[in-house]
Amino acid sequence: EAQVTQNPRYLITVTGKKLTVTCSQNMNHEYMSWYRQDPGLGLRQIYYSMNVEVTDKGDVPEGYKVSRKEKRNFPLILESPSPNQTSLYFCASSLKENRDTQYFGPGTRLTVL
Amino acid sequence: LAKTTQPISMDSYEGQEVNITCSHNNIATNDYITWYQQFPSQGPRFIIQGYKTKVTNEVASLFIPADRKSSTLSLPRVSLSDTAVYYCLVTTSGTYKYIFGTGTRLKVLA
């Protein structure tokens, strides 16, 4: 089944403890992206990747890192999480030639205490 | 990227046609209008995309007037399962950034 998977789905952590949220897609998509969703602010783009080893910042990249070493994986790294990064995170992917049709993962609910 | 404005929320009854209008006054020549749907506790799902006039698929229709400064997503005969948040985006060919905004929360009542 074609899908985008994220792990973990739920995570409670403490300030400053490094964490990684994984994202994987099995559709051979070139484009991948991370978003965060907060009440009243909607979905905001954190980082995106046009292909392997090619990444760029979205609207809210501060406090996040990403890497794209393989086409199928696009992990989101929080080196030193803070409470203001408590949010619902979504990973998405799409084909390069049909980039606007993004397929989203199920989301990761992160709480930073 | 052109900014979009859409109503915060709408209520409708089962069986009715629902029209959600999105304003995008600064849309550029290369821009497309794209709509996504998000059910509670799920990621957004692509519904429809258009450039001008009318586009229809199995889920919805999208109406875009000649000046392209607004667009209307039309959902025919809604059911309770259409309760969701609907996002209007202006997407620019050649760019990789997306602005979803806060969307329109549609509640379908029995």
Contact B97 A45 (CB under 8 A): yes
| pLDDT values of chain B reduced to their tens digit, one per residue, 110 residues | 678 999 999 999 999 999 999 999 999 998 999 999 999 889 999 999 999 999 999 999 999 999 999 999 999 999 999 999 999 999 887 788 888 888 999 999 99
Q: What is the DSSP letter of B5?
A: B
The answer to whether B33 and B25 have CB atoms below 8 angstroms apart is: no
- Residues from chain A contacting residue B100 (CB–CB below 8 Å): 35, 42-45
Q: How far is B79 from chain A (nearest CA, A)?
A: 23
| pLDDT values of chain A reduced to their tens digit, one per residue, 113 residues | 889 999 999 999 999 999 999 999 999 999 999 999 999 888 999 999 999 999 999 999 999 999 999 999 999 999 999 999 999 999 999 998 888 999 999 999 999 99
Q: Which two tokens stand for residue A13?
A: 């952590």
Nearest C-alpha neighbor of B20 from the set B91, B79, B105: B105
**Which of B46, B86, B98 to mutate: most A Cβ within 10 Å?**
B98
Q: Which domains does chain B have, with CATH numbers?
A: 9-109 (2.60.40.10)
Collapse the DSSP code of A68 into the 3-class scheme (helix H, G, I; strand E, B; otherwise coil) and give the result.
coil
